[in-house]
Amino acid sequence: MQGLFFETDTGVRYFLRGMVMLLGFWTAWRAGKAVADGWGGYGQVIAYTLLLGVVMRFMHYALFQGPFISPFYYVIDVVLLAVFSFSGFRIRRTRQMVQNYYWLYESTSAFSWKKKD
């Protein structure tokens, strides 16, 4: 039945892997942004990223028969997810500081702000 709809399994699996990666990156971005919205700190971002790393390992295990308990792949997942979660956190925190305290701070980039002169 597999050959009826798809020529090979690898094309579909690559697409699914890409979708799982995009879902994980988007979830990490939103988790970092949610922590910033709640005025949380970097500790919460790290905790949520570590938990999301476990979820991503499970998704790779359940969908692609990859190793579930693999410290090497877990660290790779967490590092990649941390890039997105810290980016989402920092961009949202910068926007909060500039919008909520517009008389004190101005934006210098998407990731930072400074005191107004």
Q: Which range marks the domain in which residue 104 is found?
A: 9-115
- Supply the pLDDT for residue 4: 47
Rounded CA-CA distance 47/69 in Å is 19
pLDDT tens, 38-58? 999 999 999 999 999 999 999
Residue 64 lies in a domain: yes
Question: Is 83 among the domain residues?
Answer: yes
- The amino acid sitting at 1 is M
Q: Is 29 contained in some domain?
A: yes
4 domain-assigned: no
| Domain tally, the chain | 1
pTM of the model: 0.84
Encoded tokens for 27: 């979830």
How far is 62 from 84, CA to CA, in rounded Å? 23
Whether 73 is covered by a domain: the verdict is: yes
- Going from the C-alpha of 35 to that of each of 22, 29, 56, the distances in angstroms are 20, 10, 20
- For residue 68, tell me if it sits in a domain: yes
Q: Which residue has the higher pLDDT, 67 or 96?
A: 96
Residue 106 in domain:
yes
Q: Are 68 and 61 in contact (CB under 8 A)?
A: yes
Is the pLDDT at 81 greater than 90? The verdict is yes
Would you say residue 3 lies in a domain? no
